[in-house]
Amino acid sequence: MDHIYKTVDLTGSSTVGIEDAIGKAVGRAAQTLHNLRWFEVDEIRGGIEDGAIAHWQVSIRVGFTLDDNAID
Amino acid sequence: MDHIYKTVDLTGSSTVGIEDAIGKAVGRAAQTLHNLRWFEVDEIRGGIEDGAIAHWQVSIRVGFTLDDNAID
Amino acid sequence: MDHIYKTVDLTGSSTVGIEDAIGKAVGRAAQTLHNLRWFEVDEIRGGIEDGAIAHWQVSIRVGFTLDDNAID
Amino acid sequence: MDHIYKTVDLTGSSTVGIEDAIGKAVGRAAQTLHNLRWFEVDEIRGGIEDGAIAHWQVSIRVGFTLDDNAID
Amino acid sequence: MDHIYKTVDLTGSSTVGIEDAIGKAVGRAAQTLHNLRWFEVDEIRGGIEDGAIAHWQVSIRVGFTLDDNAID
Amino acid sequence: MDHIYKTVDLTGSSTVGIEDAIGKAVGRAAQTLHNLRWFEVDEIRGGIEDGAIAHWQVSIRVGFTLDDNAID
Amino acid sequence: MDHIYKTVDLTGSSTVGIEDAIGKAVGRAAQTLHNLRWFEVDEIRGGIEDGAIAHWQVSIRVGFTLDDNAID
Amino acid sequence: MDHIYKTVDLTGSSTVGIEDAIGKAVGRAAQTLHNLRWFEVDEIRGGIEDGAIAHWQVSIRVGFTLDDNAID
Amino acid sequence: MDHIYKTVDLTGSSTVGIEDAIGKAVGRAAQTLHNLRWFEVDEIRGGIEDGAIAHWQVSIRVGFTLDDNAID
Amino acid sequence: MDHIYKTVDLTGSSTVGIEDAIGKAVGRAAQTLHNLRWFEVDEIRGGIEDGAIAHWQVSIRVGFTLDDNAID
Amino acid sequence: MDHIYKTVDLTGSSTVGIEDAIGKAVGRAAQTLHNLRWFEVDEIRGGIEDGAIAHWQVSIRVGFTLDDNAID
Amino acid sequence: MDHIYKTVDLTGSSTVGIEDAIGKAVGRAAQTLHNLRWFEVDEIRGGIEDGAIAHWQVSIRVGFTLDDNAID
């Protein structure tokens, strides 16, 4: 109950779909941030090539507890 | 054309993905509400455990006709 | 001053116009809810048939005091 | 993780202040709803009499798990 | 860098899911518009029949370069 | 269920009132667009002359099915 | 083209309907402000008594040129 | 029911807290405006000095009846 | 720290550009209001004549301290 | 006063600045649309290369009268 | 006047109230960030246990000058 | 297509104008962040001294690829 949380804004890309793009952004965040707790989807978009969806881009806000992470 | 509609706000959870979380919320609403007509997605978020997405949470607004349903 | 209020979200329909659609939603709410106090318009839309407006749909939020009404 | 949540929109009033108005709305919800989990503040406003704040009104969204509660 | 872009607002439907509904809208746009570049999701909703999701409807904004396309 | 919809943004004017301004915009759209389905009101405004309302201007989004209509 | 405009926020009331409430607010503004030019509707709401709409309240933003009007 | 209301936008400051900042803005408005009726909170912010909150700033919209007050 | 601020909403016009339109609105406000402190841009728009931008219109919110200014 | 207006959404690019990007979008629209009347700025963004702003992109909504223009 | 500012998004928790939750988030930020200048409240929410408010969670955006702080 | 992006929120100041304030924020970010890709304008405001604009402040969101940058 006494935690302080910080959120950062990331965008993941995927040729597979929306959930996969989110998963990649979360996975990348987990490489350097500990104590990840939740994410919220801010925007879903994507690139089109030759008249078809070429990749998905999903922007998320990721929240984590500020225990041994620095604030920048 | 003469229907009166009501909407309620629900959040479904799923370890599978976004559509499944929505489907669970709609299925739960259908247990006690008749004449469900449509839903709109309000928010997509989720929980993270051990650096990976643990579950999806999707908040929806579900609309139904007020024929034999009470308003509360 | 000590009242607790609840709001519910309804959509009324009418072939006559905007005020009539709102009036129908309020009238339907009054059948089962006591102590209705106010409404706010959230969205005005409508259906088109044969190139003309066939009916109006107005979504409102209706507020009432929680005295002998249940919260669901 | 498998819960379905519902939210309802309430407004609490208080002559004391913002937190007290929220607490009254939560307390009223707890009389008839089990498994309350969280609230979000939607709007803070109030009434003025004789040039001073006479009462506070805070609108909140209250979330709870749909286990043995009905959806209406 | 010197392109002028135009966006149009489309809604795709699908019984399969969210990505498929978006793909159908993009595919339809590609029939008459050249140089499609990106899309953004504006709204995710759907129809309910017999208490289950009958179809998904996703509204997107599609962007393209105005080279040999007309503006209307 | 398999339709693709497009929306266009129009503003109708009227010296009579809000519904009439919307009706004029819908009527104008029906001259060149088939399969109009619905409209949503985006903005209500108007001009003032000599201290009185001179005309109403209502901006709507009109949706139609993309069957034999072109996308531009 | 060289005018400076100011806007003020008013709410008009009426037992007749939406347009009448707007007209009353514009009429009241015209008593003390010259050069009124336009209005925009910000919010439509109303009071309910005995289960029926008792009065309409429409909040508008009214714009006028700052020629011989003071800014406060 | 026949009142015309006007709202003005004020920001109050306080070293004590949120309610006190609102109270100061309301009190200042009451010095020159009669018939104040309600306020709504638009924004809560504050200044930080030496790593601690130095003062609170709360922006409110204050509404009053236009009886013997001028519109500017 | 103990100041009360008021904001007013103005729109400046210019044939030169965005900054000039803002500067004209600020300059006009300074003729009758003392202690102007800050502005925020709310909307950038403009008029088109003969297929080219004829003038810029920028709506700003201007804030000032309420020391010897009246509230209206 | 009896005009029907349509708006379209365009994005102009420029290496010079914001006003120039808007002017290019308006100029392109004027090639195929008559009776352009106004524009509103929706979004200002840009590309960065080698740590400096490489180009500006401004999204605008352009309005025109529907006299001899088609609606698509 | 020549400062560059950065903002970060934090959430503070407290069992005491809203101001205390904000103060904790600001205090935590001050441990690793110098030159904190202001904060803005983005969201007020909280957890409910046994039908009463168990803790408050307030999300704020904290601004500081980028003098000897890194941007990440 | 497989990049993960992060965005940070900065505010640049300038006595010259809007584009210059944005350029200063981008230039500062480029000192410590590699692979800057785009920016979006969130807010345009400024300070007023002696009745004239003293400086411009523009808040932007800057996006970059997360290749060899850390997430904090």
pLDDT in tens, B17-42: 999 999 999 999 999 998 999 999 99
Query: Which contiguous run of DSSP H or E holds residue F41?
Result: strand F36-49
Q: Does B43 touch chain A (CB under 8 A)?
A: yes
Q: H2 CA to chain I: closest CA distance, Å?
A: 21
Q: Is residue B42 a contact partner of residue B60, using CB atoms and an 8 Å limit? A: yes
The CATH superfamily label for domain I5-65 reads: Flavin-binding protein dodecin (3.30.1660.10)
**CA-angle at H12, arms to H27 and L60, nearest 5°:** 160
Q: Is the pLDDT of residue I50 over 80?
A: yes
What confidence tier does B12 reach under pLDDT thresholds 50, 70, 90?
A: very high
ipTM score of the complex? 0.95
In sequence order, the 6+-apart residues with CB closer than 8 A to the CB of F49 are: none
Q: What is the pLDDT of residue D72?
A: 62
pLDDT tens, position by position, K4-17: 999 999 999 999 99
Q: Is residue B28 a contact partner of residue B11, using CB atoms and an 8 Å limit? A: no
Mutate to test the interface with J, among E4, E33, E40, E65 (most CBs of J within 10 A): E4
Residue B60's nearest CA partner among B26, B27, B14 is: B26
Q: Which has more pLDDT, I68 or I14?
A: I14
Does chain G touch chain H (at least 3 C-beta pairs within 8 Å)?
yes
Neighbors of chain J by Cβ distance (3+ pairs < 8 Å): E, F, I, L
What global pTM score does this model have? 0.95
Residues in chain F with CB shorter than 8 Å from the CB of J1 are 13, 15, 47, 54-55
Mean pLDDT along residues I15-20: 98
Query: Which contiguous run of DSSP H or E holds residue A64?
Result: strand A52-65
Q: Is the pLDDT of residue D23 over 70?
A: yes
Q: Is the pLDDT of residue G1 over 70?
A: no
Parallel, antiparallel, or unpaired for β L52-65 and L5-14? antiparallel
Q: What is the pLDDT of residue I69?
A: 57
Q: Which has more pLDDT, L3 or B7?
A: B7
Percent of chain I scored above 70 by pLDDT? 92
Q: What is the pLDDT of residue L67?
A: 72
What confidence tier does L34 reach under pLDDT thresholds 50, 70, 90?
A: confident
Q: G42 CA to chain C: closest CA distance, Å?
A: 10
* Closest Cβ–Cβ partner in I4, I7, I63 for H12: I4
Cα–Cα distance measured from residue L44 to residue L60, given in angstroms and rounded to the nearest whole number: 9
Q: Is the pLDDT of residue I1 over 60?
A: no
Cα–Cα distance measured from residue I26 to residue I30, given in angstroms and rounded to the nearest whole number: 6
Q: What is the pLDDT of residue C69?
A: 57
Q: Which two tokens stand for residue J65?
A: 């009268």
Cα–Cα distance measured from residue C33 to residue I46, given in angstroms and rounded to the nearest whole number: 49
Query: Which contiguous run of DSSP H or E holds residue F59?
Result: strand F52-65
Cα–Cα distance measured from residue H54 to residue H45, given in angstroms and rounded to the nearest whole number: 11
The CATH superfamily label for domain D9-65 reads: Flavin-binding protein dodecin (3.30.1660.10)
What confidence tier does I34 reach under pLDDT thresholds 50, 70, 90?
A: confident
**CA-angle at J42, arms to J40 and J46, nearest 5°:** 125
Q: Does C17 touch chain F (CB under 8 A)?
A: yes
Q: Which two tokens stand for residue D4?
A: 């379905």
Mean of pLDDT over chain B? 93
Residue with tokens 């800050």: I38
Mean of pLDDT over chain I? 93
Q: In C33-71, which positions are buried (b, 16+ CB within 10 angstroms) versus exposed (e)?
A: bebbebbbbeebbbbbeebebebbbbbbebbbbbeebeb
Q: Which two tokens stand for residue D7?
A: 């939210």
Q: Which string of DSSP letters, residue by residue, matches chain B?
A: ----EEEEEEEEEESS-HHHHHHHHHHHHHHH-S-EEEEEEEEEEEEEETTEEEEEEEEEEEEEE-SSPPP-
| DSSP designation for J34 | S
The residues spanned by each domain of chain G are 5-65
pLDDT tens, position by position, E5-55: 999 999 999 999 999 999 999 999 999 998 999 999 999 999 999 999 999
Q: Is residue A46 a contact partner of residue L42, using CB atoms and an 8 Å limit? A: no
Q: What is the pLDDT of residue G31?
A: 94
Q: Which has more pLDDT, D71 or J12?
A: J12
> Helix (H, G, I), strand (E, B), or coil: what is residue D21?
helix
Lowest-pLDDT range of C31-35, E59-63, F8-12, J49-53: C31-35
Q: Which two tokens stand for residue H34?
A: 């009669």
Q: Does B33 touch chain C (CB under 8 A)?
A: no
Q: Please tell me which residue of chain D has the smallest CA distance to K15.
A: D19
Mutate to test the interface with I, among L45, L50, L59 (most CBs of I within 10 A): L45
Encoded amino acid at G21, one letter = A
Q: Does J7 touch chain F (CB under 8 A)?
A: yes
Cα–Cα distance measured from residue E3 to residue E35, given in angstroms and rounded to the nearest whole number: 11
Q: Does G44 touch chain C (CB under 8 A)?
A: yes
Q: Which two tokens stand for residue B54?
A: 């643990």
Cα–Cα distance measured from residue E41 to residue E10, given in angstroms and rounded to the nearest whole number: 10
Cα–Cα distance measured from residue J25 to residue J21, given in angstroms and rounded to the nearest whole number: 6
Q: L56 CA to chain I: closest CA distance, Å?
A: 9
What confidence tier does F70 reach under pLDDT thresholds 50, 70, 90?
A: low
Q: Does E55 touch chain J (CB under 8 A)?
A: no
Q: Does F67 touch chain E (CB under 8 A)?
A: no
Contact L48 I27 (CB under 8 A): no
Residue with tokens 């009426």: G14
pLDDT tens, position by position, A11-65: 999 999 999 999 999 999 999 998 999 999 999 999 999 999 999 999 999 999 9
Q: Which two tokens stand for residue B34?
A: 């008749």
Q: C57 CA to chain F: closest CA distance, Å?
A: 9
Q: Does E11 touch chain F (CB under 8 A)?
A: yes
Q: Which string of DSSP letters, residue by residue, matches A9-43?
A: EEEEEESS-HHHHHHHHHHHHHHH-S-EEEEEEEE
For chain K, the C-alpha Rg in angstroms (whole number) is 14
For chain J, the C-alpha Rg in angstroms (whole number) is 14
Q: Is residue E5 a contact partner of residue E64, using CB atoms and an 8 Å limit? A: yes
What confidence tier does K71 reach under pLDDT thresholds 50, 70, 90?
A: low
Encoded amino acid at J17, one letter = G
Q: What is the pLDDT of residue F11?
A: 98
Residue with tokens 């168990």: K54
Residues in chain A with CB shorter than 8 Å from the CB of B53 are 19, 22-23, 26, 39
Mutate to test the interface with E, among B5, B40, B69 (most CBs of E within 10 A): B40
Torsion sign, CA atoms D16, D18, D24, D27: negative
CB atoms within 10 A of CB J71: 19
Does chain H touch chain J (at least 3 C-beta pairs within 8 Å)?
no
Contact L51 I40 (CB under 8 A): no
Contact I62 L51 (CB under 8 A): no
Neighbors of chain I by Cβ distance (3+ pairs < 8 Å): G, H, J, L
Residues in chain B with CB shorter than 8 Å from the CB of C71 are 72
Cα–Cα distance measured from residue H36 to residue L18, given in angstroms and rounded to the nearest whole number: 39
Q: Is I69 exposed, middle or buried (0-12, 13-18, 19+ CB in 10 A)?
A: middle
In sequence order, the 6+-apart residues with CB closer than 8 A to the CB of H33 are: H8, H62, H64, H69, I71, I72
For chain D, the C-alpha Rg in angstroms (whole number) is 14
Cα–Cα distance measured from residue D35 to residue D64, given in angstroms and rounded to the nearest whole number: 5
Q: Does H35 touch chain G (CB under 8 A)?
A: no
Q: What are phi and psi of G23, to 5 degrees?
A: -60, -40
Query: How many A×K Cβ pairs under 8 Å?
Result: 46
- Cα–Cα distances (Å) from F4 to A69, E44, E56, E72, F25, in that order, read 48, 14, 12, 19, 22
Q: Does H38 touch chain G (CB under 8 A)?
A: no
What is the phi-psi region of residue I51: left when phi exceeds 0, alpha when psi lies from -120 to 50, beta otherwise? left
Residues in chain F with CB shorter than 8 Å from the CB of J5 are 10-11
Q: Which two tokens stand for residue F11?
A: 């503003």
Cα–Cα distance measured from residue A51 to residue D27, given in angstroms and rounded to the nearest whole number: 55
Alpha carbons within 13 angstroms on the beta-carbon side of residue C57 total 18
- Residue ranges for chain H with pLDDT beneath 70: 1, 68-72
Encoded amino acid at L43, one letter = E
Q: Is residue H71 a contact partner of residue G70, using CB atoms and an 8 Å limit? A: no
Q: Please tell me which residue of chain I has the smallest CA distance to H7.
A: I72
* Closest Cβ–Cβ partner in A1, A63, A72 for K72: A72
Q: Does K23 touch chain H (CB under 8 A)?
A: yes
* Closest Cβ–Cβ partner in J17, J44, J52 for L41: J44
Q: What is the pLDDT of residue C34?
A: 87
Alpha carbons within 13 angstroms on the beta-carbon side of residue F22 total 25
For chain E, the C-alpha Rg in angstroms (whole number) is 14
Mutate to test the interface with H, among K28, K31, K37, K39 (most CBs of H within 10 A): K39
Q: What is the pLDDT of residue A68?
A: 57
Cα–Cα distance measured from residue G54 to residue G59, given in angstroms and rounded to the nearest whole number: 17
Q: Which has more pLDDT, G67 or A11?
A: A11
Q: Is G35 exposed, middle or buried (0-12, 13-18, 19+ CB in 10 A)?
A: middle
What confidence tier does F30 reach under pLDDT thresholds 50, 70, 90?
A: very high
pLDDT tens series, chain J, 72 aa? 578 999 999 999 999 999 999 999 999 999 999 899 999 999 999 999 999 999 999 999 999 999 755 666
Q: Does F26 touch chain C (CB under 8 A)?
A: yes
Q: Is the pLDDT of residue E68 over 60?
A: no
* Closest Cβ–Cβ partner in I44, I47, I48 for J41: I44
Q: Does I47 touch chain J (CB under 8 A)?
A: yes
Q: What is the pLDDT of residue H44?
A: 98
Q: Is residue D24 a contact partner of residue D57, using CB atoms and an 8 Å limit? A: no
Q: Does K20 touch chain D (CB under 8 A)?
A: no
Residues in chain J with CB shorter than 8 Å from the CB of I47 are 37-38
Q: C39 CA to chain F: closest CA distance, Å?
A: 18
Residues in chain L with CB shorter than 8 Å from the CB of K63 are 11
* Closest Cβ–Cβ partner in B4, B6, B63 for C24: B4
The full length of chain A comes to 72
Cα–Cα distance measured from residue K61 to residue L8, given in angstroms and rounded to the nearest whole number: 12
Residue H6's nearest CA partner among H26, H48, H35 is: H35
Q: Is residue F60 a contact partner of residue F12, using CB atoms and an 8 Å limit? A: yes
Q: What is the pLDDT of residue K65?
A: 96
Q: Does C23 touch chain F (CB under 8 A)?
A: no
Mutate to test the interface with D, among C36, C62, C71, C72 (most CBs of D within 10 A): C71
- Cα–Cα distances (Å) from A35 to B45, B52, E8, in that order, read 17, 11, 41
Residues in chain B with CB shorter than 8 Å from the CB of A30 are 48, 51-52
| DSSP designation for C63 | E
Three-state SS string over chain I comes to CCCCEEEEEEEEEECCCHHHHHHHHHHHHHHHCCCEEEEEEEEEEEEEECCEEEEEEEEEEEEEECCCCCCC
Contact B71 C29 (CB under 8 A): yes
Q: Is the pLDDT of residue G72 over 70?
A: no
